[in-house]
Every structure is written in C-alpha cells, then in structure tokens.
Amino acid sequence: MRKYETIVITNPDLDKALRKTFFERVEEIIVQEGGVLIRFNDWGVKKLAYEIKKKVRGDYTLIDYCGAGAVVDEMERFFRIDDRALKFMTVLLEKEADMEAVQAEIEADQAKQVEKDRQAAAEEKKAAPDAAAEKAEVAEADASSTESTETSPDEEEAK
C-alpha cells in the first residue's frame, strides 16, 4: 500500500451537517477502495491567495491515508463532481507504507484525541460552576437594583 496525503479546500459557508456528510463520504471511499484512513486534520478557514469559484476564503482539511491508486482516483473524481470542494491536491508520501508504523500513528492520534476530549470536558466542568455563580451574582445585582429604584406609593403621593 502507498501512503498519500490530500489537502482539500471546501466552501467555508457550509454548515456542520454538510461538512460532516462530505467527509463521511470521503472516508467511505477510502474504505470501499481497500484503503486505510489515518487522520483528518482540520486546519480551519483561511484566506485564499486568489478567488476560487467566487470565494475569497476556504476551509482547509488535510487527509492522510494509505491505499492503492484506485483510492486516489475515486476520491479525486468525487472532489471534481461535488461543488463543496473548491480545490484539492494529492501527494504521494511513501511508495511502500509500513503498516505497523501506520497503525501506531493511528493509535497515537486516537490517544491525542481522547486526551483532548478529556481536557475539554474538565474545562467545561470547571466553567459550569463559575457560570452558575456568575448568574447568581447577576440575579442578586438585578434584584438589588430594582429594589433601590422602586418607590413606595406614599413617596409617589408626596411628589
């Protein structure tokens, strides 16, 4: 098997659901053609050097995978047909990929993702009590400000 990397620039105006279906289809193509997906690396939205299909920004994604030439042919055919892909480029990284090294790379990426998810969950838990305390402070401040601005009926008659 050969090791490839493909950079795809997609329309930045796509919502998450359309992006997800696009990259699920790419993953399907790799698996159907007997390839192995190593990773999707989302680089985010960046300014293009020149306009492509009347767009000045593009959403860049790097796809690492192993497979035969048929995988590349089918993926590039899909990119040409689908309007969500603005541009793409495929590069051959290794003519003979070491599958043990590829498997180790996949496992390392999965471990990184698990750790990243754990950190995000920990930060979310940490932020949740802070947000609740902040809401309570705001509610107290609102209550005290309405109390101080309200006048009793006796005071209104005196005016």
**pLDDT value, residue 49:** 94
For the entire predicted model, the pTM comes to 0.67
Domain spans of the chain?
2-97, 117-148
Per-residue pLDDT of the chain (159 residues; tens, 9 = 90+): 888 999 999 999 988 899 999 999 999 999 998 888 888 889 999 999 999 989 999 999 999 998 888 999 999 999 999 899 999 999 998 888 777 777 778 788 878 888 878 888 888 888 776 655 566 665 666 655 555 555 555 555 555
> pLDDT value at position 89?
95
- First-to-last C-alpha distance (Å) of the chain: 90
Which residues have a Cβ under 8 Å from the Cβ of 37 and sit 6 or more positions away?
27, 30, 31, 63, 64, 65
Secondary element (H or E) of residue 19: helix 16-32
Fold of the CATH domain 2-97: Alpha-Beta Plaits (3.30.70)
